[in-house]
Chains A and B, each alone.
Chain A
Amino acid sequence: MEVKPHYTAISPVLGELKWIEAPSDSLLSKQLGWIDFLKKEWMDKFIDIRQGFTAVSILWNTPDDQQAFQNQIRKFKVRPFDLPSRTWKIPVCYDPDYGKDLGALAISHRMTVNVLIQLHSSVTYRLHFFGFLPGFMYLNGLPNQLHTPRKSVPDRMVEAGSVAIGGSQTGIYPKESPGGWHIIGRSPITLFDPERNPPVWGVPGDQIKFEPIDIEEMEKLLEKPPFPQY
């Protein structure tokens, strides 16, 4: 049975759909279903839609648009969106040269570096949405054994392409940035290119798999950072 999300008006023109459940593939397909519905049925009524793990927010053109949506929400029949089946292969060099926290993280989890790499690169992750920085993907699916509290003192500078673990998440820094996650490797791929339309290659619902590469391959790919393949 489809449980309807709760809609809350935050300001006269801003509101959000909220689900009281943990992030999952099934919740994501419901969120994407609502976004698809909004884009088809309410296209000229909103300025902006934003998506998080358990909410979808809508910035309306006018207070009347929000009011109309709220008045009719009970009647809407919104089908969950079928998640895409493609899986992007993301090359990652898990070498201490690129993953400066790899050793310490392995020790803190009482495992070898090889087991850590194996755990991180053996599963597929689901791309839920972009946020934090242009092109930063929020991924779900980090194995429990790798969940790690964020650093108490963030690094002043994390290199672009750094693959990192923070809390129950893993992600890739699309550009140089301060950051509080543990750096375990680096990917040579381009995550965001403002000259391209769209500037990112993935869409919410896509799957991501990290593929270990050695230093030689990494250096070759860094000369001409590619977009990934699926």
Chain B
Amino acid sequence: MNREITTATVLKTGPGSSVQDLGRWGHASFGVPVSGILDLRSFHWINHLLQNQKNDAVLEISQPGFTIQFDSPTSIALAGATASIKLNGQDTENSGLIPIKRKDILEIGGISAGARIYLGIRFGFKTEKILGSRSFYEGLTKISQLSKGSKIPYSIDSGATPIYNAKARWSVDWYQNETIFVYPGPDFSLLKENVKEKLLNETFRISQLSNRMGIQLLELLENELPELPTNPVYPGTIQLTSGGKLLILLKDAQVTGGYPRILQLDEESQWVIAQKKPGDLIQIKLKKL
């Protein structure tokens, strides 16, 4: 299908805004991180609303103030974090489908729940594909984050899309829960009993040190484990660093690591943790296989 390509222009953005799809699978053997969407639940919802392909690329935005202008008509959809949204200066729905006319300006204001907003577009954003994915990653894609003036290609859609569920509500209850479910990681058994107990009974806080590579927790754990041979890690692996810090790996994390791999988040908890912001509390609960 050859649809006419147009562009959206970023007028304003904080750091860390990027284009993401399902990621770059099958290249870990070259040391390439998988990258891709952190909160898959919001991503699938958006592409479902827009009647897109499963892997169509969306924008991932984690700072308020993001403003974008569309050159041609289309439909967009928002999910993930809750923010105040303005279309051409007027307050508008902050989730679900939004019809877009030529030269419309969308502005994302203050975030009231969650940490990452997803903005999808009919037929997906069409930035370059590198190793099978449009997901931004430094050194692979030409740019690693959006900045003021960035032009993002997309396909014109002059309104033929039947907007069948425009009023569908996006609930954010699913990520408000503090419980994060984990499986024991490959090195969990090396931990002393009192450390395991602390890990599974105390409440931890998300620190400021959090990006697409990983989330560091504020509270420290005792770590007397030796340095281990470098072995595979995955998104959702929790490493215990030599300084006793807990590091939850996310999609841009390296593919191998030398710190003990003490826990592995279950899939849905990876989406939940992606919507946690610095200061949020989590409790780690062990899940049986």
Measured CB to CB, the closest approach of chain B to A169, in angstroms, equals 8
Contacts of A148 in B (CB 8 A): none
B230 contacts A by Cβ under 8 Å? yes
Measured CB to CB, the residues of A under 8 A from B are 8-12, 14, 16, 18, 22-23, 47-57, 59, 129-136, 138, 167, 174-175, 192, 194, 198-200, 204
The answer to whether B234 and A59 touch across the interface, beta carbons within 8 angstroms, is yes
Q: Which of B1-9, B21-29, B97-105, B113-121 contacts A (4 or more CB under 8 A)?
A: B21-29
The answer to whether A132 and B234 touch across the interface, beta carbons within 8 angstroms, is no
Contacts of A204 in B (CB 8 A): 29
Contact with A along B125-164 (1 / 0, CB 8 A): 0000011000000111000000000000000000000000
Measured CB to CB, the closest approach of chain A to B144, in angstroms, equals 11
Contact with A along B80-101 (1 / 0, CB 8 A): 0000000000000000000000
B266 contacts A by Cβ under 8 Å? yes
Q: Using A16-B232, A49-B29, A52-B231 as known contacts, list a sample of 10 further A-B pairs with CB atoms less than 8 Å apart, ordered by residue number in A.
A: A11-B266, A16-B231, A48-B28, A129-B256, A138-B256, A167-B227, A192-B31, A199-B131, A200-B31, A204-B29
10 closest residue pairs by CB, A with B:
A52-B231, A131-B256, A50-B232, A130-B31, A53-B229, A57-B232, A55-B231, A134-B32, A134-B31, A54-B229
B289 contacts A by Cβ under 8 Å? yes
The answer to whether B264 and A10 touch across the interface, beta carbons within 8 angstroms, is yes
Q: Name B186's contact: one of A16, A22, A48, A200 (CB within 8 Å).
A: A16
The answer to whether B31 and A10 touch across the interface, beta carbons within 8 angstroms, is no
The answer to whether A200 and B28 touch across the interface, beta carbons within 8 angstroms, is no
B255 contacts A by Cβ under 8 Å? yes
Q: Name A132's contact: one of B31, B34, B131, B184 (CB within 8 Å).
A: B31
B185 contacts A by Cβ under 8 Å? yes
Contacts of B33 in A (CB 8 A): 134
A136 CA to B234 CA in the complex, in Å?
17
Query: Which residue on chain B has the smallest CB distance to residue A53?
Result: B229
Q: Name A129's contact: one of B29, B34, B184 (CB within 8 Å).
A: B29
Query: Given A10-B185, A47-B25, A54 and B31 touching (CB < 8 A)?
Result: no
Query: Given A16-B186, A18-B186, A138 and B230 touching (CB < 8 A)?
Result: yes
10 residue pairs from A and B, CB less than 8 Å apart: A12-B289, A49-B28, A53-B231, A129-B29, A131-B256, A134-B30, A134-B33, A138-B256, A174-B31, A194-B130
Query: Which residue on chain B has the smallest CB distance to residue A195?
Result: B130
The answer to whether B254 and A55 touch across the interface, beta carbons within 8 angstroms, is no
Contacts of B32 in A (CB 8 A): 134, 199
B45 contacts A by Cβ under 8 Å? no
The answer to whether B234 and A57 touch across the interface, beta carbons within 8 angstroms, is yes
Q: Which of A52, A132, A192 has the most CB of B within 10 A?
A: A52
Query: Given A16-B232, A59-B234, A48 and B30 touching (CB < 8 A)?
Result: no
